[in-house]
Amino acid sequence: VIGVVIGKTDVRSFPDRKNIGTERYTFNFTIRDSPACFINVQAWGREEYIRSLSESFRVGDCVTIENPLIQSKEAEKEEKFNPITPSGYKLLLSENHSVVKTSSCSNTDTRLLSLLHLPVRDPQDYYSLGDIVANGQSLHGRVLNVLAAVMSVSE
């Protein structure tokens, strides 16, 4: 699978239920290879592997994923913490079987770079900041999708 990374989480750790006293490490990212197709990827493994893999690419890089495990996603559980994707599947990376190679999108395919700026939601399924300001009271308590742009970043 070749795609551009459009989102990425930080590395997290969890107690390993199989090996008491040790921890397993994970992080997620989302790749896109066309305007309509994107999928979540989850990597699990030892701390060294996961940290090294996470540091090897960033949002906007193109990646080639070899030998991922393809798994059905559990919609309610999966989509609480990851982007909702059009696929019923997710990719799992394992230290022993999977390989992730990174490259510049311009070297791989310039059309992938344009995918970085497309919203992941249907254009009719979000609120603008203006809508929220104008209708704030009626939206109280609802979960909303917001489409906004960062104009500046400062201290």
Q: Write down the residue that tokens 């190679």 correspond to.
A: 101
- CATH value of 2-115 in 3.20.20.70, 2.40.50.140, 2.60.40.10, 3.40.50.2300: 2.40.50.140
pLDDT in tens, 80-134: 667 778 888 999 999 889 999 987 665 556 777 777 777 777 777 778 888 888 8
Locate tokens 């239920």: which residue? 17
CA distance 68 to 126: 32
Query: What are residue 141's phi and psi, to 5 degrees?
Result: 85, -5
Task: State how far the Cα of 1 lies from the Cα of 88, in Å rounded to an integer.
Answer: 16
Q: What's the pLDDT tens digit per position in 25-67?
A: 999 999 998 888 899 999 999 999 999 999 999 998 889 999 9
Domain boundaries, the chain: 2-115
What letter represents residue 62's amino acid? C
